[in-house]
Amino acid sequence: MKSNMFLLAAFAFFRIWASRSTMLILGLLVIAGCGPSGPKPASSLSGKVTLNAKPVDGKLVFVAPDGKETEAPINALSGEYTVNDLPEGDYKILVKSMAPPTPGGLPPGGNDIPKDLPKIETGIPKVDSARPPVKYSRPDNGLTLKVTGGNQKHNIELTPD
């Protein structure tokens, strides 16, 4: 009789413990699933910006619908850019020159280099890049992008003014 009572008590204790443990585990799973929501950042966005097959020297500005801007420099040697942690969403893209504007351009003959100057090797690679046309620095330039997350590649081929 005592052994039956012990078995009944052990069974009742296990039943209460199992139901409480199950509820605790389910509660923890529900809480763990309730994290912050909202836009997930893109892991990486990269690409190349060119004009007439030449790399563009400048920077990209990604403009979100709320007006927040994220800048990415463009490598003048290759035209490549990378921006990390850009939130998902629709963006307008501006392409801006990093060089100061030349007011009125060069004076007549100002681009001529005397032929008798000695050639100096500097070891600096020659940069054969293009300056982005001014029309791409305005928000109505037509360049847009939908960032969807993960690693995205987006090449941009500009056209002359």
Residue 35 has pLDDT above 50, yes or no: yes
Query: Is the distance from CB of 129 to CB of 98 less than 8 angstroms?
Result: no
Structural domain span for residue 65: 39-99+127-152
**Which of 74-78, 86-90, 124-128 shows the lowest mean pLDDT across its residues?**
124-128
**135 lies in some domain:** yes
**CATH code (residue 136):** 2.60.40.10
Sequence-separated (6 or more) residues with CB below 8 Å from residue 90: 64, 65, 144, 145, 146, 147
Query: Does residue 69 lie in a domain region?
Result: yes
The one-letter amino acid code at 110 reads G
**Has residue 116 been placed in a domain?**
no
Any domain includes 52: yes
Question: What is the average pLDDT across 40-69?
Answer: 90
- pLDDT above 80 for 30: no
The answer to whether residue 23 is domain-embedded is no
CA distances from 69 to 51, 64, 66, 153, 155 (A): 23, 6, 9, 19, 19
In a domain, 91, yes or no: yes
Quick one: which of 112, 108, 97, 98 has its CA closest to 161? 97
User: Which tens digit of pLDDT belongs to each residue from 77-117?
Assistant: 999 999 998 999 999 999 999 876 655 555 555 455 566 76
Task: Render pLDDT for 131-150 as a digit per residue (tens, 0 to 9).
Answer: 899 999 999 999 999 998 88
Residue 146 lies in a domain: yes
Strand blocks (E) in the chain? 44-51, 54-55, 58-63, 69-74, 80-83, 89-96, 144-147, 151-153, 156-158
Reduce the DSSP state of residue 46 to 3 states and report it: strand
| Number of domains, the chain | 1
Q: What is the 3-class SS of 65-90, one letter each residue? A: CCCCEEEEEECCCCCEEEECCCECEE
Evaluate whether residue 21 is within a structural domain. no
